[in-house]
Amino acid sequence: MSDFRSDFIRFAIAENVLCFGEFTTKAKRLSPYFFNSGLFNHGESLGRLGQFYADAAIASGVAFDMVFGPAYKGIPLAAATAIGLAAKGRNVPYCFNRKEAKDHGEGGNLVGAPLKGRVLIVDDVITDGASKRESVEWIRAAGAEPAGVLIAFDRQERGQGERSAISEFESEYGIPVISIAKLENLVGFLQTQPALEQNLQAVESYRAQYGAS
């Protein structure tokens, strides 16, 4: 596992963003872990999170000219990613959308830099892919090109069929989905933590039951 992926798992656990127990997912499955990016809710944690997003974007090798954050969670994530990239020598513009168009001032649905070139969509997770599909439509309508989607955590869990929502999205749009870390990285991390052995067994059991093919 790349160091930043292991470090991210450790960071998410320390911030209680990634926690263990019994949680009911949107698909009504009883999960032994839960990832809630909304708990990266103070300046220091958001700053570190932006660094991890930047690391994942650079490591992916995906070519992009700017970042876009879908409302609402994607807005601070796109800003944090742009700051993280600038700290690593990649100064790129960013943009985000409003849920409702503004009919005064500058107007419109988009805020920030103009959508152009190759655009990297930044969000927390992909559940059903709806907001990411909307983002692709915004980008293409502006005459720009969606370059990929960057998320924090990939549960690698199948949807209604055998494939995950991420796999279905990639097939539909022909663009890659990048993650800072995946379920397999979480399992690898837990294998190095004897104190978390009970959680490892529960996560591996859940993966065996619901993991995407």
Residues noted as catalytic: 102, 104
Measuring CA to CA, how many Å separate 20 from each of 134, 184, 193, 203?
32, 16, 14, 9
Cβ atoms of 69 and 122 closer than 8 Å: yes
H-type alpha helices, 61-118 = 74-87
Euclidean distance between CA atoms 69 and 90, whole angstroms? 17
What would you measure as the largest C-alpha separation in the chain, in angstroms? 58
Measuring CA to CA, how many Å separate 84 from each of 81, 139, 160, 163, 208?
5, 22, 36, 32, 35
Main-chain dihedrals φ then ψ at residue 192, nearest 5 degrees: -100, 5
- 66: nearest Cα among 109, 11, 122, 142: 122
Buried b (16+ CB within 10 A) or exposed e, 70-94: bbebbbbbbbbbbbbbeeeeeebbb
